Structure 1
Amino acid sequence: MGGQRPRTEREWSVLVSASEVLMERVPRLTDQLIEELRVHSPQFDLAVPRDEHWQQTNEAMRYGIEALAANRSAPRRDLQYAERLGRRRAEQGLPLDLLLYAYRHAGYLIWEELLEIVSEKDPAALRVLVQLASYMWAGVDGQASAVADAYRSTEQDMQRRSDERVQALLDALLEGKSTPGLVAGAAAGLDLPEQGRYAVVVVRVERAAGREPFHRVAAAEGLRFFWRMRTDYEIAVVALGPEAGLAELAEVLHRRCPGPGGISPVVPRLADLGLARRLAETALRTCGPEAQRIVRLDERLPTALVVSQPELAARLIADVFGPLLELDPADRAVLLETLDAWLECEGSAGRAATRLYCHRNTVFNRLRRLEQLTSRSLSRPRDLIEMTLALDAFRLTPG
């Protein structure tokens, strides 16, 4: 085996003769091995049906003995069988360390039996057999390596298929589907309760060359994130811990993710993720094209109403800002920028002037002109609401 020296005629004779007797004893050795494996760990019985375990152990031993006495050109059926067994045990869920223990323990039993056989038949050949120990353990190591490689490969394939299934379930929930068993399957796959506190985040992502790549948040204190990628944006289902809320979620995203993005209100069930996704997308639409922040829908409900009704938004713009639309675009932009700054500064002309790099009287003059053009007063609550919503509609409605 491997790069070891060729066996002599005497060594070959000892191995072949002992192997013939050893083959006859395989059923008893199989019984002994399986019993000792059960004593070592009850997981052998839990993972592998007894009849199957006996049959496969019996075959594995026979292939191992065959390989021990075979010449180098013979097919390594022991390695082929080890690969099959590795795949099977991975599918059955037997831990890999127990599978490797079984192979190595089988090696010890076979070696002890060889020593006994040679001692009975030809005691003088014991020295020859000991010199062949490296062949024996090289064979066991090769089988262990083959079984481990096949096990890990199968385990990775199973994990990938499981991940793909869970992701498909999560996508279905985000689409608002209600297939029987969907919620239970997603809950089990994601290790989440069906009833809980969940939010959905939608973040617009620029994937153009030269752009900074989007970095997903995996977890934060009291928060677990489950991300799904779309063409132009990323979606995250967020499981909120008992102490975490939307404020903590927004703070984490603000520190780690570029905007714009939207955060849904909290929903109490996994089954509500479709609704939460739609609300998060609505929150995203309240962000202007140049926005670089992630916003909460519950803090932008009036604006969300505007962007959710494009036909009404267009009528609101025409009704409130009709005369402004006839102005030179630069002149109109100055007036609307002043209104926006004044609203952001909570009605303080002085703070708005600082933001706009002009005198506070300039702010007053622009606002008065705006009132004249719109026939509305910023001191009247209803007029102020109309002006505010019309400004949102003008900035956020396409076209």
Structure 2
Amino acid sequence: MGGRRPRTGHDWKLLAESCTALLERLPELVDEHLRQLTEYSPVYGQVLPHDQQWREAEAAMRVGIQTLSAPRDSPRRDLEHAEDTGRRRAQQGLPLELLVHSYRAAGYLVWDALMEGAVGLAPERISMLMRSATMVWSAVDAQATAATEAYRATEAELRRRTDEQLQALLDALLEGQQSPGLAARAAAGLDLPEKGQYAVVVLRGERHDSRDTCSRPLVGAGLRFMWRMRADCEVGVVALDAGQGLDEVARLLDGRCQGPGGISPVVAGLAELGRARRLAELALRTCPPDARDVVRLDQRMPTALVVSQPELAGGLVADVFGALLELEPGDRAVLLETLDVWLACEGSAGRAAGRLYCHRNTVFNRLRRLEQLTSRSLARPRDLIEMTLALDAYRLPGVGR
């Protein structure tokens, strides 16, 4: 079985003559090519002005035709041109499918023109063109592949730059910058309403187990989160739809994130994200060191007031718990734990005793001792408020001790 006859120098000479003749028809081929493209999709005509599109198509087809008859060891100028075209089309926003189609369409047009030019010629010339079909379509495939790879690389780079720009806009909003047009640019880039309902979540950053992170996307209850990593925390912006509130945010975070963390109140617009971040950080500061919950500021307002005034908080602890602080650490811890549990049980000594694994009379005795040491009565509302706030301040790092 004989195989395909290799091309001879004479074959290359005949192909070069056919390509030279085809170059003389190039203007008419370019016109037809652009007509076919516009007929296939009007998007082609929207990417570039017609004159520029014509010039670029003429250059591409010229290089492609010249490549067909160039010596085998010649540089692939057609592939360099295809890569350049792929980069430009990605920057111009032409869909990749239309870019690939343009190369295929040009290939069909050139091949048909070559065959038309062979009509009435010697059989050897027609035979030579038929043997060149594989080479022609291989060249077209290589050009389309080069353009596609350059397109995708450029598209990825453009996406990365766009992401960085959007992240910078979001960071600027979270820092509270108020430059003109900042919120509007962020709204357009992030596809969010400039005036809408938003909340900010701040999660403490010293969590080294990657399973505890919320930087991965969170989906649920129709909420959209955007997360930013900081040196010591993660900051999330959540967009709320109509009818949604902080209950949905808290439920979703409780199921997906291991705290501690703070949730800001709802703010009305992207320009308010800086204030929301500060309030979320304040909510986080109300969490004791061993806390694992994500808490809402609107449910921690008394503690937040204490946290926001550390000097006064320290004075409150010293004034209320002064004598208590002089006890042995173990004795002091028992009394404060009893107060904490009693408050959590809404003043029920029986329920507190169940949690503390002791008799209810033991709870009463400990509370009476607390009243004696603090010179305050848990039955008086003002004294109870002072003791509750002092307990919050005492348990927060860097505030009450």
Return the TM-score normalized by structure 1: 0.96
Match for residue 314 of structure 1? 314
SS at match of 2:200: strand
In 2: Cα distance, 1:333 partner to 1:296 partner: 27
Q: Tell me which amino acid in the other structure corresponds to 2:287.
A: C
How many residues align? The count is: 395
The answer as to whether partners of 1:11 and 1:132 remain within 8 angstroms in 2 is: no
Match for residue 81 of structure 2? 81
Change (3 A) 1:306 1:5: farther
Change (3 A) 1:211 1:192: closer
In 2: Cα distance, 1:6 partner to 1:287 partner: 81
The answer as to whether partners of 1:222 and 1:242 remain within 8 angstroms in 2 is: no
In 2: Cα distance, 1:395 partner to 1:213 partner: 24
The answer as to whether partners of 1:34 and 1:54 remain within 8 angstroms in 2 is: yes
In 1: Cα distance, 2:249 partner to 2:183 partner: 24
- The Cα shift of 1:5 comes to 8.2
Match for residue 189 of structure 1? 189
In 1: Cα distance, 2:149 partner to 2:48 partner: 20
- The Cα shift of 1:6 comes to 5.1
Match for residue 391 of structure 2? 391
Match status 1:143 vs 2:133 = no
In 1: Cα distance, 2:7 partner to 2:275 partner: 73
Which has the higher mean CA deviation after the structures are superposed, 350-359 or 6-15?
6-15
Q: Tell me which amino acid in the other structure corresponds to 2:262.
A: G
In 1: Cα distance, 2:82 partner to 2:370 partner: 83
Match for residue 33 of structure 2? 33
- The Cα shift of 1:325 comes to 1.3
Match for residue 180 of structure 1? 180
Match for residue 214 of structure 1? 213
Match for residue 357 of structure 2? 357
- The Cα shift of 1:328 comes to 1.2
SS at match of 1:199: strand
Match for residue 156 of structure 2? 156
The answer as to whether partners of 1:267 and 1:273 remain within 8 angstroms in 2 is: yes
In 2: Cα distance, 1:39 partner to 1:245 partner: 51
Change (3 A) 1:60 1:131: same
The answer as to whether partners of 2:18 and 2:117 remain within 8 angstroms in 1 is: yes
The answer as to whether partners of 1:194 and 1:270 remain within 8 angstroms in 2 is: yes
Match for residue 335 of structure 1? 335
SS at match of 1:195: coil
- The Cα shift of 1:67 comes to 1.0
Match for residue 295 of structure 2? 295
Q: How does 1:1-399 map to 2 (within 5 A)?
A: 7-208=7-208, 212-215=211-214, 216-398=216-398, 399=401
Q: Tell me which amino acid in the other structure corresponds to 2:29.
A: L
Change (3 A) 1:238 1:5: farther
Return the TM-score normalized by structure 2: 0.96
List 4+ stretches of structure 1 deviating above 6 A: none
Q: Tell me which amino acid in the other structure corresponds to 2:58.
A: N
The answer as to whether partners of 1:200 and 1:264 remain within 8 angstroms in 2 is: yes
In 2: Cα distance, 1:23 partner to 1:287 partner: 77
Could you tell me which runs of 5 or more consecutive residues in structure 1 were left unpaired when the two chains were aligned.
none
The answer as to whether partners of 1:313 and 1:397 remain within 8 angstroms in 2 is: no
SS at match of 2:323: helix
The answer as to whether partners of 2:338 and 2:367 remain within 8 angstroms in 1 is: yes
Could you tell me which runs of 5 or more consecutive residues in structure 2 were left unpaired when the two chains were aligned.
none
The answer as to whether partners of 2:202 and 2:263 remain within 8 angstroms in 1 is: yes
- The Cα shift of 1:233 comes to 1.3
In 2: Cα distance, 1:91 partner to 1:120 partner: 45
State percent identity of aligned pairs: 61
- The Cα shift of 1:397 comes to 4.2
The Cα offsets for residues 90-121 of structure 1, whole Å up to 9 and x where unpaired, read as: 01101111111111100011001100112244
- The Cα shift of 1:221 comes to 2.0
CA RMSD of aligned residues (A): 1.4
